[in-house]
């Protein structure tokens, strides 16, 4: 089933419909019902694969890797060897470099239809690719596990050398519909009592900062736009996940709600952190159906290892040994309330 061309595959269980491309494992559309049963596509993106391939998307819908988020100055040392990565987000390396996992064609290893449709993508990242050490075999499986729930299982196994692995799903959500305007009226709750504050180059300082009494506090449901003007361009911060109840080994990370449609997204994960990003740099991108996406048109809930963890000994390690396995699961539960 090796498809060498970028294309789009559909998962449809009769209630929700998700389109995913083998180019970057990218969710190009995801349609779920509102309180009246009306379907709307709630992710930013393009109608065809071409704009993704041409680089028009600021990471819309894709899986980013080998290492998500920023690595300070694009440098790290592992087992005594110093590695230099492409500086694609000066002065740092971002989301795996110039041609990360989001810009690769993945192989379709399995594609199942039916009540619990699923698709499994495979990619083999070679030793030295984008500056990273070691061959790595990666799989990503999207499954519609119930009428309005999608599960993503990401796995990666280093074949010969220890390496860094930190994958993230970079979908931009707008539960009112991708073409509805901005997400400032959405409410969000994030199960995190700390963030990892950053320096002027968006690299964590290494400390954990309590959110209590700050604009970063979403421990109770709060409107996204309420204090956004107090945090510069908007939110683009790693939240330290804690305290959420568990469901089949996953912790509750976030609850997102759009008041106009009553759509709700509950996100569960086994990752230690989550980048909450409010689409601060989206500017005049022409997307599906000619919709124009501007600042705050969508928001990202990127569960992840902490940014620059390789250079911060007190952060959870993102190093995976040969024969070890990186496993990252996300559960997206949609509902109305």
Positions marked catalytic:
170, 302
- At residue 150, φ and ψ (nearest 5 deg) are -120, 140
Burial bucket for residue 108 (CB in 10 Å: 0-12, 13-18, 19+): middle
DSSP-derived secondary structure letter, 220: S
Cβ atoms of residues 224 and 231 within 8 Å: no
**Contact partners, residue 81, CB within 8 Å, separation at least 6:** 133
Q: For residues 230 and 214, what is the distance between their CA atoms, to the nearest angstrom?
A: 9
**Contact partners, residue 230, CB within 8 Å, separation at least 6:** 215
Ramachandran assignment for 83, one of left (phi > 0), alpha (psi -120 to 50 degrees), beta (any other): beta
Q: Is the dihedral of CA 289, 291, 297, 300 positive or negative?
A: positive
Q: For residues 166 and 178, what is the distance between their CA atoms, to the nearest angstrom?
A: 27
- For 91-126, the DSSP string reads TBEETTSTT-GGGSBPEEEEEE-SSS-EEEEEEEEP
Q: Is the dihedral of CA 165, 171, 175, 181 positive or negative?
A: positive
């Amino acid at each position: 089933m090796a498809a060498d061309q970028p294309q789009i595959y559909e998962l449809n269980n009769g209630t929700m419909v998700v389109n995913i491309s083998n180019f970057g494992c990218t969710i190009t559309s995801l349609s779920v019902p509102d309180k009246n049963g009306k379907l709307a596509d709630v992710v930013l993106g393009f109608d065809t694969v071409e704009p993704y391939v041409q680089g028009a998307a600021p990471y819309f819908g894709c899986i980013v890797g080998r290492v998500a988020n920023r690595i300070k100055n694009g440098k790290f040392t592992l087992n005594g060897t110093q590695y230099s990565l492409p500086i694609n987000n000066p002065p740092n390396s971002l989301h795996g470099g110039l041609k990360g996992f989001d810009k690769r064609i993945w192989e379709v290893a399995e594609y199942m239809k039916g009540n619990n449709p699923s698709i499994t993508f495979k990619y083999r990242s070679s030793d030295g690719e984008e500056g990273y050490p070691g061959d790595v075999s990666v799989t990503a499986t999207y499954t519609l596990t119930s009428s309005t729930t999608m599960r993503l299982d990401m796995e990666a196994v280093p074949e010969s050398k220890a390496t860094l692995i930190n994958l993230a799903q970079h979908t931009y959500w707008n539960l009112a519909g991708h073409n509805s305007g901005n997400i400032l009226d959405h409410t969000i709750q994030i199960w995190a009592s700390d963030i990892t504050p950053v320096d002027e180059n968006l690299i964590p300082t290494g400390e954990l900062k309590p959110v209590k009494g700050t604009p970063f506090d979403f421990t109770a449901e709060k409107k996204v736009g309420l204090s956004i003007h107090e945090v510069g361009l908007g939110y683009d911060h790693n939240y330290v996940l804690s305290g959420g109840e568990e469901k089949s080994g996953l912790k509750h990370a976030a609850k997102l709600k759009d008041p106009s449609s009553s759509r709700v997204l509950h996100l569960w994960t086994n990752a230690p952190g989550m980048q909450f990003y409010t689409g601060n740099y989206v500017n005049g991108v022409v997307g599906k159906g000619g919709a124009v996406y501007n600042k705050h048109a969508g928001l990202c809930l990127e569960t992840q290892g902490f940014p620059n963890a390789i250079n911060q000994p007190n952060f959870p390690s993102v190093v995976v040994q040969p024969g070890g396995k990186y496993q990252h699961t996300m559960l997206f539960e949609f509902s109305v309330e």
